[in-house]
């Protein structure tokens, strides 16, 4: 306990000395997120300083081993770091699918060579990854994917199409599900493979969404040659890797329901609808909606904390991230419905500097994907029914 108290004190002092004041402000635009990668650009000097200091400390991924550029923290220490960062409103130094999705899968299934090759570049923010999972005819039924990888000596030749590939047009590498045995049952012929997005035959095409933005792409593979050594885990057992990675993806997406650095809803609403003489929002039903939301948000934060603690104690259920994903995404949609309602007509403006180019309505529309991406809410409930509740035929 005394050691943890010391760690907390040192962490607090270090953050105080090293986190620039600008990096303690709520994020207001997409430029505030640093993604890393070969073509990474910092949107500001404080963003660069903050990233580099955290990277040098090993705290872009505090709980990974030091040999891969992580911080080597144990569960309790990592929790303290999260709490201390939250206390000062510190932004994440980097957002990265390498950290939140691929890394955990590589740590579990990767060879030593694969770990040494890829993990240090993830912690240092040198390579930006994207995820090649969904296909036009393989959405909720992901295992029916058809992208083929055919053997050719030491290589595979990959042909097919992915869709909803987040930021594929900016990504340096892809982790991808491909069918290596078309004769096997659908879950049994899939492999998990890594390749460079600059490989010959890879092309991407952004998809315009209802938010007016294009965070997702169609990604095409036309005779892409990839070394067999890039398969993670066993050939044809890629579904195991895919599912394990999905647990981490779902845990990450469920976190979108947490407030993080943004302003409390009650304050945002007070600015637009006003308050009565006793300081209560001048819209009793909106106040009730926000209060109920705040209750659920605080409860979800406790559940997220407990999920980590349970996992650390070896008592977690592997399918629980589906439960959290369901709840967190539905909650985030609720948050943005409330933000739109609180903003009234001011939240309807789509273009203008005043509205941050329609930041609020675009963010609201973006959240509608939360309960679709990474597995729909309906798929999550099905997983809970089957794997946790053991209901028949689910």
Partner 1 sequence: MPLLLTEEQSMLRDSARGLISDHAPVAHLRKLRDTRDATGFSSELWATFAEMGFAGLLVPEEHGGSGLGAVEAGIVMEEIGRTLMPSPFLATSVLSASALTRAGSAAQKSEYLPKIAGGQLIAALALDEAAKHRPLHTALQATRSGNGFKLSGSKAMVVDGHVADLLLVVARSAATPGEREGLTLFLVDPRAKGIAVERTIMVDAHNAARISFDNVEVTADHVLGEVDGGAAVLSGVLDLGRGAVASEMVGLSEEVFGRTVAYLKERKQFGKAIGEFQALQHRAAQLYIEIEITRAAVLKALQALDADPAGATAAVAVAKARAGTTATRAVQEGVQMHGGMGMTDQFDIGFFMKRARVCEELLGDANYHAAQLAQLRGY
Q: Which is nearer to partner 1, 40 or 388 (CB)?
A: 388
Burial of 290 per CB tally in 10 Å (0-12, 13-18, 19+): buried
Q: How far is the CB of 185 from partner 1 (least distance, A)?
A: 23
Q: How far is the CB of 108 from partner 1 (least distance, A)?
A: 23
Q: Which is nearer to partner 1, 53 or 79 (CB)?
A: 79
Q: Which is nearer to partner 1, 210 or 284 (CB)?
A: 284
* Distance of alpha carbon 347 from alpha carbon 63, whole angstroms: 39
Q: How far is the CB of 10 from partner 1 (least distance, A)?
A: 19
Q: Which is nearer to partner 1, 105 or 384 (CB)?
A: 384
Q: How far is the CB of 374 from partner 1 (least distance, A)?
A: 16
Q: Which is nearer to partner 1, 128 or 287 (CB)?
A: 287
Q: How far is the CB of 249 from partner 1 (least distance, A)?
A: 18
**HEC profile for 287-349?**
HHHHHHHHHHHHHHHHHHHHHHHHHHCCCCCCCHHHHHHHHHHHHHHHHHHHHHHHHHHHHHC
**Secondary structure of residue 60 in the 3-state scheme:** coil
Q: Which is nearer to partner 1, 129 or 320 (CB)?
A: 320
Tokens for 235? 């050939």
Tokens for 309? 């603690």
Q: How far is the CB of 2 from partner 1 (least distance, A)?
A: 14
Q: Which is nearer to partner 1, 88 or 295 (CB)?
A: 295
* Dihedral, CA of residue 109, residue 112, residue 113 and residue 118, to nearest 10: 60
Q: Which is nearer to partner 1, 140 or 223 (CB)?
A: 140
Q: Which is nearer to partner 1, 225 or 387 (CB)?
A: 387
Apex CA 373: angle with CA 290 and CA 41, to 5°?
90
Q: How far is the CB of 313 from partner 1 (least distance, A)?
A: 6
* Distance of alpha carbon 348 from alpha carbon 333, whole angstroms: 17
Q: How far is the CB of 73 from partner 1 (least distance, A)?
A: 15
Q: What is the DSSP string of 238-274?
A: HHHHHHHHHHHHHHHHHGGGS-TTSPPHHHHHHHHH-
Q: Which of 363, 339, 358 is nearest to 264 (CA)?
A: 339
Q: How far is the CB of 221 from partner 1 (least distance, A)?
A: 35
* Distance of alpha carbon 54 from alpha carbon 51, whole angstroms: 5
Helix axes 320-343, 359-367, angle to 10 degrees: 150
Which residues are CB-contacts of 269 (< 8 A; sequence separation ≥ 6)? 281, 283, 286, 287, 290, 338, 342
Tokens for 329? 């995404």
Q: Which is nearer to partner 1, 177 or 281 (CB)?
A: 281
**Secondary structure of residue 360 in the 3-state scheme:** helix
Q: How far is the CB of 146 from partner 1 (least distance, A)?
A: 27
* Distance of alpha carbon 14 from alpha carbon 50, whole angstroms: 12
- Contacts with partner 1, residue ranges (CB under 8 A): 76, 264, 266-267, 269-270, 275, 279-281, 287-288, 290-292, 294-296, 298-300, 302-303, 305-306, 309-310, 312-313, 315, 320, 323, 326-327, 378, 380-382, 384-385, 388-394
């Amino acid at each position: 306990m005394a050691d943890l108290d010391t760690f907390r004190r040192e962490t607090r002092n270090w953050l105080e000395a090293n986190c620039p004041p600008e990096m303690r402000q709520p994020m207001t635009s997409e430029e505030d997120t640093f993604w890393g990668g070969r073509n990474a650009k910092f949107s500001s000097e404080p963003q660069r300083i903050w990233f580099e200091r955290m990277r040098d400390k090993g705290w872009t991924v505090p709980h990974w081993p030091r040999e891969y550029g992580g911080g080597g923290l144990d569960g309790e220490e990592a929790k303290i770091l999260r709490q201390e960062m939250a206390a000062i409103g510190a932004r994440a130094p980097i957002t990265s699918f390498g950290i939140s999705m691929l890394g955990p899968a590589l740590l579990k299934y990767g060879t030593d060579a694969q770990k040494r090759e890829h993990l240090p570049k993830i912690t240092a923010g040198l390579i930006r990854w994207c995820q090649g999972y969904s296909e036009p005819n393989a959405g909720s039924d992901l295992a029916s994917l058809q992208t083929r990888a055919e053997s050719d000596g030491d290589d595979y030749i990959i042909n097919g199409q992915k869709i909803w590939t987040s930021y594929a047009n900016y990504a340096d590498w892809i982790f991808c599900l491909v069918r290596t045995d078309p004769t096997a049952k659908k879950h049994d012929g899939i492999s998990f493979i890594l390749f460079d997005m600059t490989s010959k035959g890879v092309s991407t095409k952004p998809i315009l969404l209802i938010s007016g933005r294009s965070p997702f792409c169609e990604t095409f593979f036309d005779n892409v040659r990839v070394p067999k050594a890039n398969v993670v885990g066993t050939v044809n057992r890629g579904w195991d890797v895919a599912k394990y990675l999905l647990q981490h993806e779902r845990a990450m997406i469920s976190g979108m329901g947490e407030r993080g650095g943004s302003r409390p809803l009650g304050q945002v609403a007070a600015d637009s609808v006003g308050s009565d003489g006793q300081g209560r929002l001048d819209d009793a039903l909106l106040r009730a909606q926000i209060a109920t939301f705040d209750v659920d948000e605080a409860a979800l934060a406790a559940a997220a904390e407990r999920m980590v603690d349970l996992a650390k104690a070896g008592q977690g259920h592997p399918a629980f991230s589906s439960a959290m994903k369901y709840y967190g995404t539905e909650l985030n949609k609720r948050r943005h419905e409330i933000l739109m309602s609180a903003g009234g007509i001011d939240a309807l403006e789509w273009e203008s500097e005043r509205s941050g180019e329609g930041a609020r309505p675009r963010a609201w529309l973006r959240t509608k994907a939360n309960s679709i991406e990474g597995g729909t809410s309906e798929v999550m409930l099905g997983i809970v029914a089957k794997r946790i509740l053991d209901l028949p035929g689910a």
